[in-house]
Amino acid sequence: MASTVTTTTVEPNIQKRVSTLTGAVKYAAYYRDPNGCRRTKTFVKLAQARSFLTTTKSALLMDEWVDPTLARMTLNRYRDEKYDAGRSTKSNTQEFNRTIWQRHCGPTIGERRLDRIDREGVVRWIQDDVIAKHEFSVSYLRHIYREVTRTLDNAAANGYIRRNPSPSPSAAGVPRESSSHGEMRLLSVEEVNALAGAFDPRYRSMILTGAFTGLRPGELYGLAWKDVDLDRRLLRVTQAVSEDRGKRTLGEVKKRASLRRLRISADLATELQRHRETWTNDLGLLWTTSTGNLIARGSYRQNFIVPAVEKSIGNRFFSQVPRQAEKLGGQASEQPIHATGGRPIRRSQNA
């Protein structure tokens, strides 16, 4: 059977192919990959074939060439089959990242093939599919964007794409975190006392401890009496409560650097002594639920933090982002609890 295509070589490594049936013209650029196998890609225009060969030969010389067949999988498939989140990432963090991906990345940019994701496409995705359709906090927006860039970074490191095409968050139009909250200031100690006073008495000392030590929520929930020396006014951070798919566990702290000792004020030591005499549990922890179980971060935030914030300092910002009140991101303080000054949580001037 006669061939329906006539082929002529127009330049080294470029062939002109003309269909004898339709007269359509295409240009085939071919080269040898590092394994010596012949690779071919066709183009409508000769200039496109020339540009492709120039780019490909440069990548081969610089040892940056990647197999184009690997990039034909979608970003979702790569995420499911090849992505490595890293062994240092805790299970609850991995679960949170998976939720971010399933809700905001997978249904949109995740459906695209790796070789069809470019800088412009990433910017359009975050602007049109995320920012324009949702009212997320800036930190949450940046987390969504970070998950995509991390996945593309991982794909580039594993040789599935040549490089990560995504620009920096600011270049993609993702606002900086500080710009959403305006100028930040620290709550006064009086405001911290008002916040603590609005909590269930069982958790008043936990709020004050968080305010004047800066412990993470999981570290507060996992603080045990064996790590508290009230006579010397010292706390040791050795364990934390984490959650994975709704299951709470008590284990090691997130990072080795999180193992530390903190000195507390005399007033806080007195507050903890009063708490110890009033509340006990079988787990040996300072704070548990009313039934003696590990505290669940989500339900604690909803049932205690939000109502206490609204009842005391009445800050709309904390009602929207209660984790800020939960973390009470201060550092260890020697200031008396019932005195001016101190260094507890941040609060927005614009809220």
> Could you read off the pLDDT tens digit of each residue along the chain, which spans 351 residues?
556 889 999 999 999 999 988 889 999 999 998 888 999 999 999 999 999 999 999 988 888 888 888 889 999 999 999 887 655 566 667 888 899 999 999 999 999 999 999 999 999 999 999 999 988 888 899 999 999 999 999 999 888 998 899 999 999 999 887 644 445 556 778 888 888 899 999 999 998 998 888 898 899 999 999 999 999 999 999 999 988 767 888 988 878 888 999 999 999 999 999 999 999 899 999 999 989 999 988 888 888 888 888 888 776 444 333 334 444 434 333 334 433 233 333 333 333
Alpha-carbon distances of 180 from 141, 173, 187, 306, 317, rounded to whole Å: 11, 13, 18, 20, 10
User: Can you tell me the distance from the alpha carbon of 243 to that of 96, in angstroms, rounded to the nearest whole number?
Assistant: 10
Domain boundaries for CATH 1.10.150.130 within the chain:
72-181
Q: Is the pTM of this model over 0.95?
A: no
| CB atoms inside a 10 Å sphere around CB 159 | 13
Domain boundaries for CATH 1.10.443 within the chain:
185-348
Q: What is the CATH code for 185-348? A: 1.10.443
Strand partners, 250: 241
Strand ranges, E, within 132-233? 184-186, 228-229
Q: What single letter denotes the amino acid at residue 16?
A: K
Distance of CA 259 to the CA centre of its chain: 23
Q: What is the CATH code for 72-181? A: 1.10.150.130
Strand partners, 239: 252
